[in-house]
Amino acid sequence: MKHTPETVVLVNCGCNDIQTIARAVRAEHIYTMVMPYTVTVDRVAAESPRAVVFCADAPAADRVARFDALNAPRLVSVDPAEIVRFCREKGGCTGSWRMDAFIDEAVEDIRRQVGSGKVVLGLSGGVDSSVVAALIHRAIGDNLTCVFVNHGLLRKNEPEMVQEVFQRNFKMNLVYVDASDRFLDKLAGVDDPERKRKIIGKEFIDVFAETARKIDAPFLGQGTIYPDILESIPLDGNPAGVIKSHHNVGGLPKDLQFKLVEPVDRLFKNEVREVGKLLGLPAEMLDRHPFPGPSLGVRHVGAIRRETLAILREADAIVTEELLRTGWYAKTWQTFAIFVPVKTVGMKDGHRTYDHVIAIRSINTVDAVTAEVVRLPWELLFTMADRIVREVPGVNRVVYDITQKPPGTIEWE
């Protein structure tokens, strides 16, 4: 079991936003671990906590009494400032939770766990897998092999960008698998969103497993982060309290039998970013908008054709370029283009056109569970629309999606 010095255990006795409290205390360099109130006293004691804090929105005395046996200062609170003060004054916490120290510990942990064994890691180019790649690489160098699968649904220049960043910064063993044709052939003619998602998911696992098998590594690196774990255990002991199941390698074939290496499984997203920065990952990689696993596949409504996928890719690149140029990229959670398989009448250079529609969606959210439409400046939207209809053949109309979530989802499929 990994152990972090100066651990503070937060026992969730019925607190709606325990993750926010845990993050706020960590921001003061005090490491917090969240446990459900059904946890055993021994399990808490095993962490040798500096302090134990019971977090409850309503009085929960009865849930606290059985922890009297614990040999650590105890507090009932949902106020991060009060918790921090208590941890410093009564728990003697000095503020040792720092990402540079974390990196040293994590590197040692990885070396201890894998020894001279090989690790294989699926690299998506997203923040979590990129940081895990950099961390494992620092620990074991060439014994790490990253597998980057191009499923043909990536954004413009994405395969080149991901490879370039990792080769330039880390000189990593990186296996690039261009499986575009395989995916796009399987997707041909499929217009049902769920079937599309299933095909992409299954094919991805197959391609990754085939490649991983050739590498013959006993270990599989994973970008599991702390919220994945928190959201998959019922914090109040009630299974109905599970927010979402932690999927990690659930889909991998049993005969692959890897041991997992999950070096950032104690970190919140902001901490993962900080580690990435300290490890030298460029900002353009760390500050990227979240991008769904099925990628452009769920932003291309209906059956995917290579020609219409190319239209979406170009339109999406223009949207991103304009966001970056105006500074709006950093001000939104996700902003992207959607291909709408509808043709409408328009005109260009005095001629009638009959071409496709591109939609633009821009949202802000805290947790992606609900989301608010961003009021992007009209000037910016006009520029995007103008560039798209002029520069992307096959598009003659651009619309802006102003649907909140709920009832709309963020992605269109």
Contacting residues toward ligand XMP, per CB under 6 A: 290, 292-294, 334, 368, 405, 409-411
Task: Give, in degrees to the nearest 5, the angle at Cα 240 between 234 and 241.
Answer: 40
CB atoms under 10 Å from CB of 200, counted, come to 24
Minimum Å gap between C-beta 243 and ligand XMP is: 13
Which residue has 């932003």 as its token pair? 299
- Cα atoms in the Cβ-side hemisphere of radius 13 Å centred on 413: 26
Cβ closest to ligand XMP, residue 109 vs residue 411: 411
The nearest distance, CB 69 to ligand XMP, in angstroms, is 42
Q: CB-wise, 364 or 383, nearer to ligand XMP?
A: 364
Maximum Cα–Cα distance across the chain: 84
At residue 53, φ and ψ (nearest 5 deg) are -120, 130
Report the DSSP beta bridge partners of residue 276. none
Smallest distance from ligand XMP to CB 117, Å? 28
Minimum distance between the CB of residue 377 and ligand XMP, rounded to whole angstroms? 23
Query: What are the φ/ψ torsions at residue 372 (nearest 5 degrees)?
Result: -115, 140
Residue 335: which of 377, 294, 304 has the closest Cα? 377
Residue number, 40 or 409, with CB nearest to ligand XMP? 409
Pick the closer one to ligand XMP by CB: 247 or 259.
Answer: 247
Structure tokens at 324: 């970056």
Q: Between 211 and 334, whose beta carbon lies closer to ligand XMP?
A: 334
- End-to-end alpha-carbon separation of the chain, Å? 40
Q: How far is the CB of 298 from ligand XMP (least distance, A)?
A: 6
Q: Where are the beta strands (DSSP E) in 245-324?
A: 259-261
Q: Which is nearer to ligand XMP, 251 or 290 (CB)?
A: 290
Query: To the nearest whole angstrom, how small is the minimum distance from the Cβ of residue 211 to ligand XMP?
Result: 20
182, amino acid identity: R
